[in-house]
Structure 1
Amino acid sequence: MPSKRLLAAALTLVAVAAGTTAAQAAPDPVVKTTNPITSSFADTFADPSIIQGRDGYWYAYATSDPLVANGPFGLMHLARTKDFSSWEYLGTVFNDQTKPKWAAPGSFFWAPDIRYFDGKYVMYFTVTDTLANPGGDPAIGVATAPTPAGPWTATDGPVVTPKPDGNGGYYGTIDPAMLTAADGKRYLYYGGFYGGISVTELSPDGMHAVGTPTQVTIGDRYEGSYVVYRDGWYYFMGSSMNCCAGPTTGYSVFAGRSRSPKGPFLDADGAALTDSRVGGTTVITQNGNKWIGPGHHAFMTDAAGQDHIIYHAIDRGTPWLTDPFGINRRPMLIDKIDWIDGWPRTRAGLGPSEGPVPAPVTGSALGIDSTDPAGGLVGATRLPGDAVGGASAKIAGAAQTRQAAPGGSLRVEADVRLGGSFTTVLGNQVVARVAGNQLTLVAGRRTTSVKLPADFDRTQWNKLSVQVTESSVTARLNDAGLGDVYAEAQLPGLRLAAAPVRWVGSAEVDNLTVRSVAKPVTKPADVPRTGKVLAGDDFDGSLGSGWSWVRKDDKAVVADGKLSWPLENADLVGTGNNAGLLLHDAPAGDKWIAETKLHLDTGQGDVRNYQQAGMIAYLSDNDFARLGNVSIWKTRQTEYGRELVARPSDGATSYGAAAIGRSAQVGS
């Protein structure tokens, strides 16, 4: 019965105001964008992060590479867009006068992570070298600004200090990513291949690490972390392998999830990201088009509720910003994220897009100017706002949209500064109410409530969204719509009736958008399937005429239905080219699948660099692709590697790899 009472009370308070109409605006034209989205002002825009400012612009930030060939490195870059089709470059985050005073001369500034909380914009970033130990002791810095364009003021010291490795060096304290979690605490994820990724709690103001860090990934596998909260899960995502191997880069992003922001994070198969046989469910990897090495990403959700991944990648045809083996050309790309069986997959598993695709949905329907919303509402008062966000709308009592929202699905989102209680009503069927220390959601005859953190500050700008689909109804309060959460309430879905969107209570509202929800994709993209057997060998006799050797190894024996081949102290990467190869003629045509059953006992948890075995597609010692199980320090990974000549002038080769999948358990 409490759900009926709350629903009735809310609807009584928001009876239709005079002067409204049921008229609905025509659908907006679909805006298209084509990767790379930063091509209008930059050739490279690596390690991107993104946030929507209260002025309605989306601001993107990048690491300190030169934007163009022979350009200056800069001190991290920023640009902005309203529609993801056209961009404006705004310059660098720091200059020589404003950069952190504790950074050593010549230090680089990498991987900015942008957030908004407590009334200010907060940026975390990597400082590659500090004055405390000049020579390479990376640390995490933090700076604040009143607007997303700056000016940025760095703190007097790192938020996470360099971590000695005990051998005279320092672990990789790099690649920060902040998260505000449902417990009201702020967490910072940081680290990379050397030492693994850890999470530390931050002080409430986000300026200092507190407590003891928790390691959430094994070393030698992940960097570039980003964490989002969805449907009761914290999803950790990290990039794997070498970001910057030019035309052979195999960088990719993988995910694990946990009920706790501290982990443990497990992949879709239940494997932990801390295991020696390291887990990770693919979020994005190369797909055979021109884009390779997609990774070091951020997340955003558009006005239609569609999630997107923002990342850098390399065009295999123009991989270098400078001469071969110099700076890699890593522009910024964007693609949609589909949630398949509870896991984030880029374009349902298709990976990076190459041609025109729909851009993220921005702005509002129903004739609402999202950055000056009062004009699209009845019962709201226009406030002049401030230099950060411009005009806003004051709701005190009751207000509603001038036009009716369409039936079916709907997403209503706004930056809100709450006064007393504040209620949003959609289609006369869904009520989301913030009152006291609770977020209460009513959908039809169902109701649920969740508590807000004890120190939740309703007087600051926060993000409030209410989304209704036939599968679920969700109300959420968070910092900035970047996967963070103060409270999220969910109920089973329903189909809305067409009606104005209504509000009751007291709040200041900005960046108001009302949109139909993007149609979700819930099935994975098709993958190649095996057909009839074209050729093969069960090794039940001697090798047939289809086999040939390159550097024959007499220790390889065919007997008892298997090929037994002891490990060699040899390799095929680089200039050594002393590994033996047993080759079989490939079938005719360019569409075939090769497979074999392989057993290599690499153990677990110890260092066995770089024991490996697998299959190879071979043209020459300097042009091949290989797939195998490999021991990389304490990890055991399935690696797809590629070597080719990257500098024809002297025959210098480039080798890169992607770690796709997990090695099978020995004996399985």
Structure 2
Amino acid sequence: MRWRSVSLGTAAALAAAVLVGGGLPALAGPPAPAEAATSPATYTNPVSAGVVDTFPDPAMIRGKDGAWYAYGTTNPIFNSDGEAGERILPILRSTDLVDWEYVGDVYPAEDPKPSYWASGTRPWAPDIRYIDGQYHLTYSLSNGGVALLTAETPTGPWTDRGLYFGSAQVAGCPTGNIDQAIFTDSDGTHYLYWGSYDVICVSELTADATELTGEVTQVAQGRRMEGAYVVQRDGWYYLMYSDAGCCDGAFSGYTVKVGRADNPRGPFVDDHGIDLMALSSKGGYVLASNGNGFAGPGHNAIQTDLSGQDWIVYHAIPTEDPDFPTVQTRAGNLNLSKRPLMIDRLDWIDGWPVVRAGAGPSSGEQVAPVTTAVLGSAFEDGVPGDWPVRGAGAVSPGTETDAGGFARVTPDASGTTEVVTADEMAGDLRVQADVRFSADGSAGDSGTAAVRVGARGQNGATATIDRGSGELRLEVRQGARTSVDVASLPSGFAYDEWHVVAVEWRGDTIAAGVSGDGLRDPLAEVEVAAPRNAIAEGPIGIAASGASVDADNLSAASLYVPVTERVADPVLGEMLPEHSDEFDAAGAPTAGDAAWSWVREPASGPTVTDGSLVWPTQAAELHTGNNSASVLLRDAPEGDFTVETKLTFDGTRGNQQAGIVLYEHDDRYVKLAHSILPLNRKPGQFLHKVEFGKEAERPTTPTPIAVANAPMFGAAPAETTWLRLHAHVDQDAGEWEFRMASSTDGEDWQWGGVWTFPVQGDIRIGLVSMNATGATAEFDYVRTYAMPDSGATEETPTAAQSDD
């Protein structure tokens, strides 16, 4: 729908959401909506806790019965109960998005499996859509391939529609054939996005969404890029994806990012204009780790609650309990990470989606989604007896397997019949319902089905699906004054199947839209300015003219309060000269500043020339058991600090890298570097990445402790890139938290995720230039800053924003 970016709010819907427990000061908490008039429901992540042990790669949809259904990757969901093995594509159900119950598997263990499953395959990454009266569940096969199932209810029984494609590369798309998602454009065209490690592609689907057709387009590429999910908002197509490692326990660097385009085939660009097909890392951060006990947040889907607030659905790994014991799977014995189901508020700020205004994953008590209507009915017990019926027609109850109870409005031949709520509602609000033209008594290709808001006689807003004209029409009337907007429905619009019609009224602006499943994929959108003196006050209801109309899940709720400002990024205090170097003294760095020292001093070391430390890359490494690289070190200050360097780097081939390290010893450090990494699926092509690496002991490995190394990826670097590492000690958790940032002009900083490890020894500030020869790093300076006592944010957090 053409929902306005800064619109649609309710003081009663959401109160402040907070970030818990010793997170970096930069992530003290998101700006809070206005104070709630009542105490709303709350939740705590992970929302699947106590139900299943894990629920990776979640997809979600609201069924026509009004409940929400979530689908997860094949995993050992009942391991803690002593159950061996895995469940294949498990399903959860909830009536409030918070309290979930397990309701079965897409493929029960005893059922036969498709013949096209290769030996040992593990079905992954489901996606769910409602298209022309059927639920379309797609999933990928761990050894390559994407399959389609359809059903008339969210839990099956499922009809196997076969493979879109198998493990063989699809022409024009050099990628791993997994991690698919369907998107339906406003003209009714269905698209399939897919790809993993390292290219994402899109192809049009046939009208019934069962086969690929036409051209395949590459829309994004990057190191470990996967998990595409597309939504449409305000005329833009947003491609969300995850990069870095998804499932490596506390070393998972998964991060959700986004690009947008004015076409579902792209080109998609991030929030700094970097094409998602560029040979670089990308910004556009939606969700990144924040040091609050969850690693690797990612592989997301989107849901919208009854207030119009969007929520991101994703998995993350609890760092205190990240790994399963060895599990027997269809592919043999595997070591798997726990990835439970998480939800969090998704804000749209300046045209870009970001979780909790940039605060990241939540832990501790949070305000829950709005899932209970102030007015309305699911019609499970028929139409409430006190609801007025206007017009000469009839209103009767109906029932079916999927939707359960619903209301049927049957007009007489002379005009319109509507049924409205007995109670009224005022203020800014959101009204939605599932509607369809009844298969019984429909008048051919004519008739209208409408959702009414503020229905006082002819006054109020009416969002109408007009079958005769093939349009969605929004009409807002106040006396003799009327505002109207119309939009064409797709030529193949299935009038006899359920569609979600939603109307949002804020102040003087009213918008309406229709979609198949409410997954931010509108088939038509309209918007008007209200006539003078028009208000939303009044009942809500369903109207029919010229045809019998079915309605279900009619609801009205106050609009959510939009968050319009991001959380403040860290600001720097005074520079600390004793921990900084401008590289003004020519010669060896240790000669110009005695505070520097070496770990493995190179035979021919770097030199300070013309105000920069010039350091050719070494054929050496600082990776797990291979600790051969030289590290130039100096002491770090006590307490929280931020270290910054300006780096010019001319790398051109794989694995050359240079940057900052915060170093305890060879097996315990974080590194922020400009790295040159190969593009796995395109031999000979290399990516310029801002790489944020962590090496430390793996906490769940028995003695002797194994050392692990993992990256996150920052925004795109340039020939000259500014790098920052912010270090904070979480006293309560007893751990270091390190947050990265990068800039291509030294002023506009893009802040990314957080790595943590327990406090043990002293951290020192260092530089590296390593891995492969042939490149030169020029460090213009190293500057270390204290952090302000106020908490290192640009504004003092309110009580509602402080840590739990």
1:125 aligned to 2:134? no
1:63 aligned to 2:63? no
Alignment of 1:323-338 (within 5 A): 326-338=335-347
CA distance in 2, matches of 1:221, 1:269: 21
1:218 aligned to 2:221? yes
Structure 2 match to 1:356: 365
1:662 aligned to 2:716? yes
Aligned-pair CA distance for 1:308:
0.3
1:267-312 Cα distance to aligned partner (Å, 9 max, x none): 1111110011243400100011101100001100001100000100
Structure 2 match to 1:81: 94
Structure 2 match to 1:498: 537
CA-atom RMSD in angstroms:
2.3
CA, structure 1 residues 511+504, in 2 after alignment: closer, same or farther (shift >3 Å)? closer
CA, structure 1 residues 429+534, in 2 after alignment: closer, same or farther (shift >3 Å)? farther
1:8-42 Cα distance to aligned partner (Å, 9 max, x none): xxxxxxxxxxxxxxxxxx98862211101111221
Shifted more, 234-243 versus 75-84: the winner is 75-84
CA distance in 1, matches of 2:62, 2:553: 9
Aligned-pair CA distance for 1:650:
2.2
Structure 2 match to 1:524: 566
Structure 2 match to 1:434: 465
CA distance in 2, matches of 1:72, 1:58: 26
1:617-658 Cα distance to aligned partner (Å, 9 max, x none): 111111111111112212222121111111251231111221
1:464 aligned to 2:487? no
Structure 2 match to 1:487: 524
SS in 1 for 2:449: strand
CA distance in 1, matches of 2:359, 2:53: 24
CA distance in 1, matches of 2:342, 2:365: 12
Equivalent of 1:620 in 634, 644, 665 = 665
CA distance in 1, matches of 2:204, 2:38: 43
SS in 2 for 1:51: strand
CA distance in 2, matches of 1:489, 1:117: 22
1:310-343 Cα distance to aligned partner (Å, 9 max, x none): 1000111111022599201110100010001011
Alignment of 1:259-278 (within 5 A): 259-278=262-281
Aligned-pair CA distance for 1:429:
4.4
CA, structure 1 residues 371+201, in 2 after alignment: closer, same or farther (shift >3 Å)? farther
CA, structure 1 residues 198+664, in 2 after alignment: closer, same or farther (shift >3 Å)? same
Share of identical aligned residues, percent? 37
CA distance in 1, matches of 2:271, 2:711: 23
Structure 1 match to 2:583: 539
Alignment of 1:139-538 (within 5 A): 139-155=145-161, 157-164=162-169, 171-194=175-198, 196-322=199-325, 326-366=335-375, 368-369=377-378, 374-375=383-384, 377-379=387-389, 381-396=395-410, 397-407=417-427, 409-418=428-437, 420-427=447-454, 428-435=459-466, 436-443=469-476, 446-470=483-507, 472-491=509-528, 496-506=535-545, 507-535=549-577, 536-538=580-582
1:243-277 Cα distance to aligned partner (Å, 9 max, x none): 01211211010001111111111111111100112
SS in 2 for 1:597: strand
SS in 2 for 1:374: coil
Structure 1 match to 2:796: none
CA distance in 1, matches of 2:379, 2:662: 54
Tell me which amino acid in the other structure corresponds to 2:560.
A
SS in 2 for 1:598: strand
Task: Note the residue ranges of structure 1 that are not aligned, 5 or more in a row.
Answer: 1-25, 130-137
Task: Note the residue ranges of structure 2 that are not aligned, 5 or more in a row.
Answer: 1-35, 328-333, 411-416, 586-590, 679-685, 722-743, 745-804
Q: Using CA pairs below 8 Å that are at least 6 residues apart, which structure has the higher relative contact order?
A: 2
SS in 1 for 2:644: coil
1:146-175 Cα distance to aligned partner (Å, 9 max, x none): 2101112222x3113333499xx9840001
Structure 2 match to 1:649: 703
The aligned length equals: 625
CA, structure 1 residues 340+36, in 2 after alignment: closer, same or farther (shift >3 Å)? same
CA distance in 2, matches of 1:661, 1:278: 5
Structure 1 match to 2:780: none
SS in 2 for 1:348: helix
Shifted more, 641-650 versus 515-524: the winner is 641-650
1:341-377 Cα distance to aligned partner (Å, 9 max, x none): 0111000100000011122111311263465572274
SS in 2 for 1:552: coil
Aligned-pair CA distance for 1:478:
0.8
CA distance in 2, matches of 1:492, 1:198: 39
1:52-74 Cα distance to aligned partner (Å, 9 max, x none): 11112111110001114363222
Tell me which amino acid in the other structure corresponds to 2:583.
F
Tell me which amino acid in the other structure corresponds to 1:126.
S
SS in 1 for 2:167: coil
CA distance in 2, matches of 1:441, 1:532: 57
CA, structure 1 residues 339+185, in 2 after alignment: closer, same or farther (shift >3 Å)? same
CA, structure 1 residues 510+165, in 2 after alignment: closer, same or farther (shift >3 Å)? closer
Aligned-pair CA distance for 1:458:
0.8
CA distance in 2, matches of 1:185, 1:89: 33
Tell me which amino acid in the other structure corresponds to 1:422.
A
CA distance in 2, matches of 1:470, 1:365: 19
TM-score, reference length from structure 1: 0.89
Structure 2 match to 1:638: 690
CA distance in 1, matches of 2:112, 2:529: 50
Structure 2 match to 1:135: none
CA distance in 1, matches of 2:244, 2:617: 24
CA distance in 2, matches of 1:296, 1:559: 46
Alignment of 1:18-97 (within 5 A): 30-69=40-79, 71-95=84-108, 97=111
